[in-house]
Amino acid sequence: MRRNAAVAGQFYHGSRDRLKEQVEEYIDRDAPAEEVIGIVSPHAGLMYSGHVAGAVFSSVRMPHTFIMLGPNHTGLGSAISVMDSGQWAIPTGVFTINSRLASRIALNCDKVTRDPRAHMFEHSLEVQLPFIASYSTDTQIVPIALLSASLEDCLSLAGAIAQAIRTADYRVVILASSDMSHYLPDTQARAQDKKAIDRILAMDPEGLYGTVRRERISMCGYLPVTVMLAAAKLLGAGSARVIKYATSGEVSGDYDSVVGYAGIIVK
């Protein structure tokens, strides 16, 4: 099955040449590439969050495979849905799903459903691909969409991902797609986001899950980030670093209602 781009021409330029030019504006070819276990990258339209996502991908040595965890905004599909075969296409490349790794994750966690419906119109993972394509279209992907999950579900999925990665004889990076606070005044958004980011930097997945829910932080991808952090810790990660943080107000000029964007690497 081939999944064609759902948001080309909306979240990013729809033609190959224009998209290449757009991504080049946001990446730094001279930045040192680090070996990481996980990353957090935003998923708004590139004109708003592309400079944050670009800073993250500029800092990462491309792996063989990205396990991509994103929130399910559409409500289609199962609670935790993996697309376990086929390809994803965007104007600048075609990515192959790592079927073996996807199948191992599904087998290791009974909370995961093999369900492509959740991915058909979802943008949170698709908007990561133009940045990956700017470095390599040989990189494979495992797309997983999270609609709902308890903390126990997140930890179970994290364990399955870590177990699957341990069996791979190639490098795998866990990508968690998330925007931060939504539609708050800039000052308030930054204060709310700091509470969540502090838990990420503390390598505290349980604390992140609890803080977002308790403080009602409108971080749409807290489930993917919780899973990524927990899996990364199982794989030996011990530190996280903010590469870039910004709000949409810095682009739009509207500081009364912003969305926050954080780019983070986990090593």
Please give the chain's pLDDT, 267 residues, in tens: 999 999 999 999 999 999 999 999 999 999 999 999 999 999 999 999 999 999 999 999 999 999 999 999 999 999 999 999 999 999 999 999 999 999 999 999 999 999 999 999 999 999 999 999 999 999 999 999 999 999 999 999 999 999 999 999 999 999 999 999 999 999 999 999 999 999 999 999 999 999 999 999 999 999 999 999 999 999 999 999 999 999 999 999 999 999 999 999 999
Task: Supply the Cα-derived Rg of the chain in whole angstroms.
Answer: 17
pLDDT score of 153 = 98
174 Cβ neighbours under 8 A, 6+ residues apart: 37, 38, 39, 66, 67, 69, 161, 165, 227, 228, 231, 232
Phi, psi of 63 (to 5 degrees): -90, 180
pLDDT score of 49 = 98
- CATH superfamily of domain region 2-266: LigB-like (3.40.830.10)
All structural domains of the chain with their residue ranges: 2-266
Q: Cα separation of 186 and 249, whole Å?
A: 7
The reply to whether the predicted model has a pTM over 0.75 is yes
171: nearest Cα among 235, 80, 99: 235
